Structure 1
Amino acid sequence: MVDVLVIGSGPAALAITAALGRCGVNVIALAPQPPETPWENTYGVWGEEVDSLGMSHLLAHRWSNTVSWFGPEPLSHERDYGLFDRHRLQQHWLEQGRATGVVWQCGQATRIEHGSHQSTVSLADGSQLRARLVLDASGHQPVFVRRPDRGPVAGQAAYGIVGRFSAPPVDPSQFVLMDFRADHLAPEERQQPPTFLYAMDLGDGVFFVEETSLALAPAVPFAVLKQRLQRRLSHRGVAVQEIHHEEFCLFPMNLPLPDLDQPVVGFGGAASMVHPASGYMVGALLRRAPVLAEAMAEALADAQCPTAELARRSWRALWPQELRRKHALYQFGLEKLMRFPEEQICHFFETFFHLPNRQWYGFLTNTLPLPELVGAMLKLYGSAPWDVRWGLMEPRGREADLLTRVLTL
């Protein structure tokens, strides 16, 4: 029997296995495919986040010319943005884990049974694995982690292309966080839920362009996003010449927090760690994996600690009260933004990115303390145009319940 069985092989699973290994925890990791299987999606992060963690050497690209479009002129963000080298990040965590004794096994977990001091996981091949604690990092549709049903789940959907184009789709050496310009769409189409361009110059004549929906329930179909991207490029006189990679990205933005009293611990998407207002998660994995690993190692040091108590202490370390309240606040904001039409959402983001740089950055990265987060939201409301203020006040949907959770969590 091992201390911890980790399920999954994505960024969340690798981040936590490496962190547990560094804490001296005896770990076995289980996944349906080898952990070296290449990751398909791209992972972006703000430069300051990776610099503060000493991981900037794992970036494949970094941009200082970072902008967004919410009107006819670009808005400069004056902050660096980076894109991870997926293979190097994956290898970084795998090497750290293996250096500390993490063992990987291929298999499909099908069932779990909990005893007082151990959990037993049954695999599809009939074998079993036992651990004092099971950590599920298998993604947004986890194998064992339970979460309550609180209604429709909004998905952020994106269709992207890495390739070569007849003309640069963005300025050389530029990163575009959001381009909400919609002059390529007919007036009736602009009444539909807005989408934006996320794009970057990868160098050597290669660019990444991605049409993205902030969040919607149900999510915007990939076919719609692909068509909008093609029309956006065509309207600007840009034709696709070579496609090196297509990206189809869909993940939930407003999942409720899991049941924090269950005997299985989650991490990453399984633990609802996607930022409900921005969609970011990798920065949170980098910051919170060591915190969770240290709490688990401390609990495991007591050989008599029951499995249920190990899980309880782990969940409380991952989701302390302040983070739970911030999560509800972010969900409240997303609930509002999902209803904003094109003009209103452009007004919102124009106001948001004119907040002090530290405030909007801390909002997007979930690094502001709760009082400062509330202060930033009030400042945004006070400086926003009236259409945005009304949209934030208008009582619709689940906002009342979300605000109640902010006060009662």
Structure 2
Amino acid sequence: MIDVLVVGAGPAALAIAAELAEQGLAVAVLAATDPRELWPNTYGIWGDEVDALGLGHLLEHRWSDTCSYFGSGSSDPADPADSPTRHGRDYGLFDKTRLQKFWLERCEAAGVQWLRGQAQELSHGSGRSQVRYAPARAADLAVIEARLVVDASGHKAVFVQRPERGPVAGQAAYGVVGRFTAPPVQSGQFVLMDYRADHLSEAERQEPPTFLYAMDLGQGRFFVEETSLALAPPVPYAKLKQRLERRLAHRGVAIEQVEHEEFCLFPMNLPLPDLDQPVLAFGGAAAMVHPASGYMLGALLRRAPVLAAAVAARLRAEPAADSLQLAAAGWQALWPPELRRKHALYQFGLEKLMRFSEPQLRSHFTSFFSLPSAQWYGFLTNTLSLGELLAAMVALFATAPWSVRWGLMGMRGRELQLGLRMLAP
């Protein structure tokens, strides 16, 4: 019998498996796909965030010229509303291959066992967890027993249970890595959000807003991605692709060569899992996506060691601890009360933003990035304390125009319920 079975093969699974194994625990990873299979999506992170983790060497690209556009996008180049908002912070793009290899090598050095198969059923007996799975090259189901199961299989978790609290909003994006007839962004530039909508008709501007996320990859290659902040149901890929092509065409740019198409969809406001269940989760399965920014890699890197240490400490202190007790130790470390309150506050804010019109969103983000850099950065990376987060939100309200303030003050739908959850997460 092993100590921990991790279900999944993505960044979350490899991150937590490596940390658990380095704590001296016997760990196995069960996945339907080969953990060495290259991940399809790109992963960005703020430079300060990756530097604090000592992992800057895992970046493929890094930009110091970082900006956003929240203006009207009028055809007049002298229009000050069309000027960029400069962020003054580096932004990086992970080298996916290098990041994957970083975790794989740590897993293998620490003795992680690899199992190939589709997880099917989870049961608990005699204080242990049993997982039945369909091996990749066998007709009959196999069974593996572990002291604890960690579900890191993503947003559509295999085993993790969570409450039903209404529609789940998805951030959807369609992107292209390739070459273009003209640069879609300035040389050496990274654009976090371009909300200019001058390529759309007045009727189209009443539809859910989308923005451009783009970067210069060097040597004539660029990555451009049309993104919807969050919506339930999500904006279809076809609509995002159409908007991207129209945005580029409006600026005299066409796609010349496609190296890679990216289709990205993940939930932004998943409810937290049931924290009393005898199975633990990590990553998307544990609702670790930042509800306001959509980022998760920084959280995986920061919180995996904390979670692994808590599970290992409980096992050392109580060698006979059962799955429920080990999971409880893990849940307490992963989602302590302050983080649960912050998560509720972020979800409350996202619910507000999903109701904002395109002009309100542009005004909101103009005000948001006018906050002191430490405040907006800490908000987006979830590194502020609860008190600091509340202070940032109060400052944002105080400086925002009345069109945004009215949108923040009115309570509609489940907003009041989400706000009250901050008091009793």
Q: Same fold (TM over 0.5)?
A: yes
The TM-score by the shorter chain falls in which range? over 0.9
Q: Does 1:251 align with 2:266?
A: yes
Deviations 1:310-346 (A, max 9, x none): 1111101000000000000000000000011111000
Residue in 1 aligned with 2:164? 149
Secondary structure of the corresponding residue to residue 258 of structure 2: strand
- 1:172-199 deviation digits (Å, cap 9, x = unpaired): 0000000000000001100111000000
Amino acid at match of 1:127: A
Number of residue pairs the alignment of both structures matches = 409
What value does the CA root-mean-square deviation take over the aligned residues? 0.6
Matches of 2:51 and 2:24, distance apart in 1: 26
Q: Indicate yes or no: 2:333 matched with 1:351.
A: no
Question: TM-score scaled by structure 2?
Answer: 0.96
Q: Which SS does the other structure have where 2:422 is aligned?
A: helix
Deviations 1:41-74 (A, max 9, x none): 0000000111011100000000000000001110
Q: CA deviation at 1:116?
A: 3.5
Alignment correspondent of 1:387: 403
Q: Which residue of 1 aligns with 2:201?
A: 186
In 1, distance between residues paired with 2:327 and 2:126? 12
Partner of 2:77: none
Instruction: Supply the distance in 1 between the matched residues of 2:187 and 2:315 (Cα, whole angstroms).
Output: 52
Letter in 2 for 1:274: V
Would you say the 8 A contact 1:116–1:308 is kept in 2?
Answer: no
Alignment of 1:9-158 (within 5 A): 9-71=9-71, 72-124=82-134, 125-158=140-173
Superposition TM-score, scaled by structure 1 size: 0.99
The amino acid of 2:184's aligned partner reads P
Structure 1 contact 6–27 (Cα < 8 Å) conserved: yes
SS in 1 for 2:277: coil
Cα deviation for residue 305 of structure 1 reads: 1.1
Deviation at 1:117, TM superposition (A): 2.2
State how 1:328-343 maps to structure 2 within 5 Å. 328-343=344-359
The answer as to 2:275 corresponding to 1:265 is: no
CA distance in 2: counterparts of 1:280 and 1:21, whole angstroms = 25
- Tell me how far 1:147 sits from its aligned partner: 0.5
Give per-residue Cα distances to partners, 1:273-312, cap 9 Å, x unaligned.
0000100000000000000000011112121112111111
Which amino acid is the alignment partner of residue 33 of structure 2? Q
SS state of the match for residue 229, structure 1? helix
Map of 1:170 onto structure 2: 185
1:196 and 1:212 in contact (8 A); partners too? yes
Give the partner amino acid of 1:115. G
Is 1:200–1:208's contact at 8 Å kept on the other side of the alignment?
A: yes
Number of the residue aligned with 2:326: 310
Q: 1:394, CA displacement in angstroms?
A: 1.0
- Letter of the structure 1 residue corresponding to residue 207 of structure 2: Q
Q: Report how far residue 115 of structure 1 moved.
A: 1.6
Supply the distance in 2 between the matched residues of 1:133 and 1:161 (Cα, whole angstroms).
Answer: 40
CA distance in 2, matches of 1:37, 1:397: 42
Shift of 1:395: 1.2
1:203 aligned residue = 218
Q: Secondary structure at the match of 1:315?
A: helix
Structure 1 moving runs of 4+ over 4 Å: none
Counterpart position of 1:218: 233
Cα distance in 2 for residues equivalent to 1:339 and 1:271:
26
Aligned to 2:137: none
Structure 1 SS opposite 2:348: helix
> What letter corresponds to residue 139 of structure 1 in structure 2?
G
Please give the per-residue CA displacement for 1:55-105, whole angstroms capped at 9, x wherever unaligned: 000000000000000011100000000000001000100000110101111
Question: Contact (CA 8 Å) 1:59, 1:84: kept in 2 or not?
Answer: yes
Q: 1:290 aligns with which of 295, 305, 323?
A: 305
Q: Verify the 8 A CA contact 1:140 1:270 in the aligned structure 2.
A: yes
Give the fraction of aligned pairs with identical amino acids, expressed as a percent.
67
Q: Secondary structure at the match of 1:122?
A: strand
